[in-house]
Structure 1
Amino acid sequence: MGRQKVKRTETITRREPADLRGIPTGSVVHFDREIVAEHMWSAVRDRLTETGPATTLWVSESEYRPSRAW
């Protein structure tokens, strides 16, 4: 897409748990996001899990729908 500039709106549609303070060890945190820009829509589901004292497993699923051919 070259050096095009894109303005987009990103909305958190789900955050679980809602309060991110004091999360017990081993808990999974879920974020679902919807991203809207001119000629595109995207949904992203992120899951973050602590896997060690200084490591986190981040699993991300994305769905992208262009509204026109590039």
Structure 2
Amino acid sequence: METLKFKTTINCGACVAKVTPILNEQENVKNWSVDTGNADKILTVEGENIDEAELVQSLSRIGYKAEKM
């Protein structure tokens, strides 16, 4: 299983609720979490053969930025 980390603009519980359906429907993503207490709002994604570009694009479509760390 691979682990990817992204610096994001997901900064509160309401934001997490908004991205939950998007992240849950991502193929090959098994687990994810957002550390909203971290200044960089780190999104950690675990899974196999994750399409990073699709994940970033999916978040972008609903107004969030994600940059791979």
TM-score normalised per structure 2: 0.28
Larger Rg: 1
Structure whose residues are more often strand by fraction: 1
Greater helix fraction, Structure 1 or Structure 2: 2
Structure having greater relative contact order (Cα 8 Å, sep ≥ 6): 2
TM-score, normalised via structure 1 length: 0.28
